Each structure stands twice: as structure tokens, then as C-alpha cells.
Amino acid sequence: MKIAVAGTGYVGLVTGICLAENGHEVTCVDVDEAKIRIMQQGKTPIFEPGLQELMTKNMDRLSYTTDFKEAYRDAEVIFIGVGTPEKKDGSANLSYVFAVAEQIAESITKECVIVIKSTVPIGTNDKVEELINERLNGRLKAHVASNPEFLAQGTAVQDTLHASRIVIGVEDEFSEKKLKEVYEGLDAPLVVTNRRSAEMIKYASNDFLALKISYINEIANLCEVIGADIQDVAKGMSYDSRIGSRFLNAGIGYGGSCFPKDTKALSWLATFNDHEIKTVKAAIEVNENQKLLPVKKAAKYYKDLKGVTVAVLGLTFKPGTDDLREAPSLVTVPILLDDGAVVKAWDPVGVENFKKRIENGSEIEYCDTIEETLKDAEICFIFTEWPDVKALDPLQFKKLMKTPILIDGRNCYDVKKMKEVSGIVYDSIGRAAVDNR
């Protein structure tokens, strides 16, 4: 099937490449000429495990262009996978979605299905269909369908090719038939709903997971006060099949392109319709406060950080991605700099993106290795649980740091093992602090 995909970010590019892997002829469209040139050279502009290999494998079925008219003209299905960034009031910015819709109406020459893959507020599919068909003015028929993505950065390829479910929201048999053809051969449950239900499934799913993370973080904070261990608590909870073990890892909050934006968007949508989702509002508040926890913990060991050499391990919001969107490091590192700290930072893939996102970034010493970052540091913050960090021998902190004080925002190490290391301070989330000074 001839398919076009608008947008080559995480959603669009992963979708396009995976659809090519499923046997379709796919054209990826973007307005960023530099990005298109990179892809035309056979390279992916984003870091995502397995994506480069699939891109190379399916190069004969993939093309990349800025010429939307050529891409959309004869396509049977057009996916919209552009960004819907958060506006200042928390609502979703749909300007990119509607801009693509205008281009599609201007370009298509045959009846086709336009599939909104981007996360959009309930009712957006209706508006897009109305806009496109108004522009077409009866010249031909365009069908609009909702097909929300459920991919996570770091596992996006796996999440697409081996999805937990494929949700399609349609209002006619033509759209349903075409989308079933698109996904034919993929082994995943197919959920067919109307468009508004599909749009809501995406928000309801992401916000539920955000609630789960914020809940376990609040329990973790209470565990520190009453002397319980959050990892033991989470393990005991996880054996209940109604709860499970996923998203029960306490830490310094969620980040990325989905949970922060989608919780705020759903909360805004509810308020706009004279409703209030109190649980989602609480999750947003808890998450923002959680990001500040490492700095608050540091105050127990230093009255102020002026002139203190600080090691930062991990900048991205989670391992397996170079994505910095809503990462706790973007909140905490500027505070460290404002407090006068001397900051050394390490991340295996996120440094260049971090430099683009932060002011005063030139004041930071970016290191190539964890060992170089820790050398002579007086306190260390762990913001991302990269495998290299988790594999580090705790004795290295004592050996390399001037003052081995470790604030672990991701609970990378066993508290019992840390108790065996003399001279070290280990302060994590929801567990008793170790102070062996």
C-alpha cells in the first residue's frame, strides 16, 4: 500500500519505518530540510534502539521529502504524526496538525484515509475532517480516522511492531477496511471504536500511568518519614495482578513527550468543559514537586552549594533515549548553577540535546566517562538510571570523589550494599539514607 507520513519526530518516523517493515511503500514528509537530508543519506536523526537497523533494512520501501504535494498526491493512507506541543495554558497546540490538513486538502487526487497518529484532544478528528472536506468542496471524499500511538521512547520499535493493542477510531467502513489492511500481519489485538473514543483511550491510558507513577512517589516520600522501604512496599504490591509491577519504580518524577503534556491537556480539556479531574491535577502537582527532591536532599549535607563540585550522572528523562523533554535535569541543573555549584555532567547520548535546551550550558563541564565526572566531586546526583550507572561498583564513588555523597534519584543501588561502604553517604528515594561518614 502507498502510504505517506507527515512528521518525522518520534511518532512519525518510527511509524513510517515500521510500516515499511510491514511491507508498505512509505514516504516520510517534513518541513525541516536538514533533517530530510540526513534521512536521505540513510541515517536516522533521532536515537532510538533498533530504528537505524530497520531504516537500513527497508531503504527500498522508504523515501523522504519536503515536497508534500508529491507525497500526498497518490497516497492511499496519510498518517499525521506531527507534534502537538503544550501551550501556556496547558492545552494542546494543534497548529501543526491543521497545517498538514490544509496541505493534504490541497494535494490529494483520490479518495483516501487521513489518519491522525498525533495525540490530540477529543473532537480534533471531527474538526480535521470538516476542514479537509470543506477545502475539497465535493471534488473527492477524504475520510479521517484516529489511530493513537502507544510507543515509549527507548522501546518505540518494539512497541510498534509488537503492540499491546492497535486502536482505530473510525466513522465509516472504508476507513476501517483500509486501516485493517495497513496493519495486516501484525500480531496485536485490534480495538475498533468511534473516533472520540479512540482519542480518549490515548489520554486515559497515559494519564493513568502518570497517576500510578505519582502515587508510588508519594508513597515513597511517606516511607522515608515512617521508616518503610519503598522497594519492599512496591514488591509486595506488585504480586497483586490488579496492580502489577510496571510503573511502580519510585524516583524523581516522569518526563518525556507524553505524560507531562497529556496530563495537562486532559486537565485543561476537563476544565474547559466545566469538569475537574482531581486525580490528574494532583498527579501534575506531585510530579513537579518530585523533580526538586534531589536539591532538597542536598541541603542536608551542604548549607549551600557555592563552589561545591557537583557530578551529574544522566541528563535524559529515562535511559534508552536522547529525549530531554520535561527531564528532571532541566529543572535541577539550572538550580545547581544558580546556587554557584561547579557542575560536571555525563550522559551517553543526551549531551548535545541538553546543550540546546539549557541556559548557561557553557558553565557545565561535560565529561566523556562516569569516572571523569566523579573525579574530585563533592556530591553526586543520579538523574537517569543508565545501565552504565547501575553497573558501577559503589566503591568507585568512594575512590573517585573528594566527598562521596550520593543523591540517587532513581534508586540504582542496593541500600544493604551501600551500608557496607565506609565513608559514603547514600540518599535515595523512599528508603533510609545511609550515612557512613
CA 31 to the chain's CA centroid: 22
Rounded CA gap, 291 and 301, in Å?
Answer: 18
**How would you list the strands of the sheet with 405-408, edge to edge?**
365-366, 342-346, 309-313, 379-382, 405-408, 425-427, 434-435
Q: Which residue carries 541515517 as its cell?
A: 43
Backbone angles phi, psi at 352, to 5 degrees: -65, -40
Q: How many residues does the chain have?
A: 437
Residues 6+ apart with CB under 8 A from 235: 245
362: amino acid identity, one letter: S
112 is annotated as an active-site residue:
no
Per the CB < 8 A criterion, the answer to whether 371 and 303 are in contact is no
Query: How buried is 72 (Cβ within 10 angstroms: 0-12 exposed, 13-18 middle, 19+ buried)?
Result: buried
Closest CA to 296 of 318, 327, 328: 328
Rg (CA), the chain: 24
Q: Is 406 helix (H, G, I), strand (E, B) or coil?
A: strand
> Which of 28, 112, 258, 380 is the catalytic position?
258
Sign of CA dihedral 324, 92, 136, 176: positive
Helix-helix angle 124-136:95-107, to 10 degrees? 30
Rounded CA gap, 78 and 111, in Å?
Answer: 11
Q: What proportions of the chain, in percent to the nearest 5, are helix, strand and coil?
A: 45, 15, 40
Per the CB < 8 A criterion, the answer to whether 18 and 157 are in contact is yes
Rounded CA gap, 108 and 168, in Å?
Answer: 22
| Active-site residue set | 258
